[in-house]
Amino acid sequence: MTGYEVLRVFCGPGGEYGNELGVVRDGAAVPGRAERQAVARGLGFSETVFVDDPERGEVDIYTPSVRLPFAGHPCVGVAWLLGVDRLVTAAGPVGVRREDGLVRIAARPEWAPGRTLRQYGSAAEVEALRVPPPGEWVYAWAWQDEAAGTVRARAFPGRGDGIDEDEATGAAALLLTARLGRPLAVTQGRGSLLLTGPLPGGLVEVGGRVVRARAQPAGGVGPA
């Protein structure tokens, strides 16, 4: 049993909104994949990160139902928490930089789990969508202002694991940026903000603002 922290990642300009992230700093306290999956399921966040080596930035990422080799909002959040300039994920190394109070990560689009990127004609259409039935991971998006590179998006994981809509999804924004080949400012969910841009060598950067939501003392985490 160990404690965990809760961050909000990709917050709005005033620190509002953002996607909650569970971080278990002492990954060694939950050593097995089955145990980690049980903890992630019990916490119920869209993702939970286990820190295996805080100095090297080595992390392990889980949704309530599956392990992910890479995910955007967990990497941004845990990079902010650990203060490292590099993370080591199962997919590969992730670069980290900080600028103007934001944390940005650089990753390869092919690391992102499969998503259906579905474009709509207007932001109002995206906002009016109902949660679709499970079965397909859908990233619904529309231009707010194409010339300015601003996007309105919502994300529906479709896994049937209790996460019907994801408040802020770095991997999906990364994929959209790779497809469009230009920097984007994505407003997702209730008002979370993700900033992205293509980089040399086939990398894409995604970043945003992170705040600490709360900490759960030791005894708060254990396999369900």
Domains of the chain: 2-89+210-221 (3.10.310.10), 111-208 (3.10.310.10)
What is the pLDDT at residue 223? 46
Q: How many CB atoms lie under 10 A from the CB of residue 83?
A: 11
Query: Using 50, 70 and 90 to split pLDDT, how confident is the model at 113?
Result: confident
Residue 45: pLDDT over 60 = yes
b/e map of 137-167 (b: 16 or more CB within 10 Å)?
A: bbbbbbbbeeeebebbbbbbbbbebebebbb
Q: Please state the rounded mean pLDDT for residues 37-49.
A: 96
- % helix, strand, coil for the chain, step of 5: 20, 40, 35
| Distance, CA of 67 to CA of 3 (rounded, Å) | 20
pTM check: above 0.85: yes
**CA atoms within a 13 Å half-sphere pointing along the CA-CB vector of 114:** 4
CA–CA dist 141, 157 (Å, integer)? 14
Q: Using one digit for the tens of pLDDT, what is the confidence trace for 71-110?
A: 999 999 999 999 999 999 999 999 999 999 999 999 999 9
∠ at Cα 117 (71, 155), nearest 5°? Answer: 60
Q: Which of 194, 187, 116, 119 is nearest to 157 (CA)?
A: 116
Q: How many CA atoms lie within 13 A of 190 on its CB side?
A: 9
Instruction: Check whether 224 has a pLDDT greater than 60.
Output: no
Contacts of 116 (CB under 8 A, 6+ apart): 136, 137, 138, 139
CA diameter of the chain: 51
Phi then psi for residue 3, to 5 deg, are -85, 175
pLDDT band at 118; cut points 50, 70, 90: very high
Going by DSSP bridges, is the β-strand pair 184-188/192-198 parallel, antiparallel, or unpaired? antiparallel
DSSP 3-state of 149: coil
- pLDDT tens, 142-177? 999 999 999 999 999 998 899 999 999 999 999 999
